[in-house]
Amino acid sequence: MKSVIIVAGGKGLRMGTDIPKQFLPVKGLPVLMRTINAFRQYDSNITVVLVLPREQQEFWKELCIRHGFAHPHIIADGGETRYHSVKNGLAKLSDEGLIAVHDGVRPFVSQKVIARCFEAAALHRAVIPVLPAIETVRHIEEDGSSVTVNRDEYCMVQTPQVFDAQLLFKAYGTDYSPHFTDDASVVEAMGEKIFLVEGNRENIKITTPFDLRIGEVLV
């Protein structure tokens, strides 16, 4: 059994628009619909849980009617933080099979990466897609100075992050910590090792007007 929790709680502040970024159109289709489409194209039977702030849910339903978007999905309420949003999404699922967690504003994840994550999670229980750091990386010291570090020792993390369902439920049974920056960090806090697979560079997170323009090109 495969499920995906798509977290879409953005308010679009960096976009400079009143419309939350996940609802903005890319070549005529809202970002969030493209994201759901990516997982439905991977597996038409996958269970999709969409986590949205309650005040955005009616607008989403109107968008679905306007675009004739009929892919089945379950809606869960967004929480105070990403941790709480994912926890609300988990409440809509059972602890069976594999569960992916994906950013709603990453519509260009490839089919190969989704498949790679699910296949690896069946063996390794906790999997995240990553890309190598290609820029020079510097570490900021406490005194404000900085030093170059070996970029080969670092990678850039993407989603979907895919986990054994029972493991993910157990991880989200722990108390919230501000150190939880993604789902892997929640699972890792229990001492679980995280397995890395190759992501895809097009799998950008659309958060700024520039990202939106790049998205238009990618489509």
**Sign of the CA dihedral with 65 first, then 67, 71, and 73 last:** negative
pLDDT for position 20: 86
Query: Cα angle at 75 between 71 and 80, to 5 degrees?
Result: 140
pLDDT for position 13: 47
Written as tens digits, the pLDDT of the chain (219 aa) is: 999 999 997 554 455 557 888 999 999 999 999 999 999 999 999 999 999 999 999 999 999 999 999 999 999 999 999 999 999 999 999 999 999 999 999 999 999 999 999 999 999 999 999 999 999 999 999 898 999 999 999 999 999 999 999 999 999 999 999 999 999 999 999 999 999 999 999 999 998 999 999 999 999
| pTM exceeds 0.75 for this model | yes
Check if CATH label 3.90.550.10 holds for domain 2-218. yes
108 three-state secondary structure: coil
Domains of the chain, by residue range, sit at 2-218
Strands 74-77, 47-52: pairing kind: parallel
pLDDT for position 138: 94
